Amino acid sequence: MTPNPAIIKSVEQLGYRVTVGDIAAKAGLDINLAQQGLLVLASDSGANLQVAESGDIAYVFPKNFQAILRNKYLRLRLQEWWDKIWNVLFYLIRISFGILLLLSIVLIFLAIFIIIIALNSSNDNDSGGGGGGSSSNSRGGGGFGFFPRFWFWSDFFWIFNPSYGYSDHSRRQRRSPSSSSEKSELNFLEAIFSFLFGDGNPNIDLEERRWQEIGRLIRKNSGAIIAQQITPYLDEIDAIALEEESYMLPILSRFNGYPEVSPEGEIIYYFPELQVTAGKQKATSKLTKILPEHPYHFSAAGSGQIMGAIALGSVNIIGALTLWSLMQGNVAAQIGGFVAFVASIYWLLLGYGIAFFAIPLIRYFWIQQKNAKIQQRNNQRIQRAEKLENPDAIIQQKLDYTRQFAREQIIGTEELSYSTETDLIDQELDNLEKGDREWQKRLES
């Protein structure tokens, strides 16, 4: 069985000496899964067990236990390699959409250029070689042929400039220091992917964060809480569940909690296994009052990059429409070669240009709806948290009752009855035997 990565990470963050409760609270894991995973990790890495006089167990891991695991498990090594490979592959996927857009523009305008040259050459041949007419047609043809070359090549190569899309944005930054937050860390090709598809789900780790925050909440309150303290970390709760506190059942199951009824008939919840710790843990981050859902952002690209992407998409569609008008009358078949090839994939080029704007437009309206629901859920959580800041008489009564069950048991090294590093019982027996021998010598002397 391969060790759980969440447990490995938690052991490192907690200083290599942990209890099952430490891991469950830190990683937000089911208490039984945390216990099983911790045993597997301890067995595979050669950790030592320390048993307190109360019977609670602390696990002590060597600081190089990750290296021990990598040497033991081929799967962990392969996972590390795959992570590196996937980072490269995903980067190539991201920039491929920008490369395809640029390639589409190159193909379209190169085909336009060839068609115009071919049409001008045909007009020159049809003129019959007359002096004045030829000169006039030559100048007219040259002018008409020169226009796309000048407009296309000068602007197109400017797009390949590494500073393209940043110049106006940089000037705005110099004028307004507050706009520095708009600066993007993406290169231009990555920005095109971000403009098309966004930057992923900002709440992909919401469930993981939820359980971690709940575990930290229980720890902060010394293992005893009321149901109302949990509600700012949950999603929608219907009126029946809110009254019956049925939303506490998954939490009790996950952390082996127990309900307790006060003399007034109110219910509180305590979690004995989360009350045992291997030592005082430094708070790495402050416990949040609610579990915030992050809103979706349209794109992480800078405003200059987005404008550049829109400009390129517009150039692609205008060029495709221009190419369509020039290919009327079976021109592509007459010219053949490269132009015929572009004509054969024309609808792919035009379709990509249309999708380049259609996908972000659809995504924009989808984000608006999604963010409205996220804001609504966040507002509900804030309202629940505000009730705890100004508790009524019933909630305050329940909070007072939790203090009877709140406790923290620290397994210190001075109160161990057994350790796999050193058998403390045998050590004490040896000390007693040495003491007896010393007293025997003194009596004999």
Q: What is the pLDDT of residues 95-130, one digit of tens each?
A: 999 999 999 999 999 999 988 888 888 766 665 554
Confidence of residue 285 (pLDDT cuts 50, 70, 90): low
- Token pair of 270 as six digits: 């305590």
pLDDT, mean of residues 273-284: 76
Q: Which one-letter amino acid corresponds to residue 235?
A: D
Highest mean pLDDT among 166-170, 245-249, 325-329: 245-249
How does DSSP classify residue 185? -
pLDDT at residue number 443: 55
The β-bridge relationship of strands 409-410 and 276-277 is parallel
411 touches 276 (CB < 8 A): yes
Q: What percent of the chain has pLDDT over 70?
A: 77
Q: What ranges in 127-227 are assigned the alpha helix state H?
A: 131-159, 167-175, 188-197, 206-220
Residue 408 has pLDDT above 50, yes or no: yes
Residue 170 has pLDDT above 60, yes or no: no
Q: Which residues pair with 17 in a beta bridge?
A: 60
pLDDT, mean of residues 50-65: 84
pLDDT at residue number 140: 40
* Mean per-residue pLDDT of the chain: 80
- Token pair of 437 as six digits: 């021998």
pLDDT at residue number 233: 95
pLDDT at residue number 364: 95
Taking CA 174 as the corner, what is the angle to CA 172 and CA 177, rounded to the nearest 5 degrees?
90
Residue 135 has pLDDT above 80, yes or no: no
Highest mean pLDDT among 67-81, 219-233, 330-344: 219-233
Q: Which residue has the higher pLDDT, 54 or 222?
A: 222
Residue 404 has pLDDT above 50, yes or no: yes
As a whole number of angstroms, the distance between CA 407 and CA 428 comes to: 30
Query: Lowest-pLDDT range, 45-59, 133-147, 267-281, 297-311?
Result: 133-147
Confidence of residue 131 (pLDDT cuts 50, 70, 90): very low
- Residues 6 or more apart whose Cβ sits within 8 Å of residue 160: 102
Residue 156 to residues 110, 143, 152, 182, 315, Cα–Cα distance (Å): 11, 20, 6, 26, 10
As a whole number of angstroms, the distance between CA 63 and CA 16 comes to: 7
- Token pair of 7 as six digits: 């447990």
pLDDT at residue number 270: 93
pLDDT at residue number 139: 37
pLDDT at residue number 416: 66
Q: Which residue has the higher pLDDT, 159 or 121?
A: 121
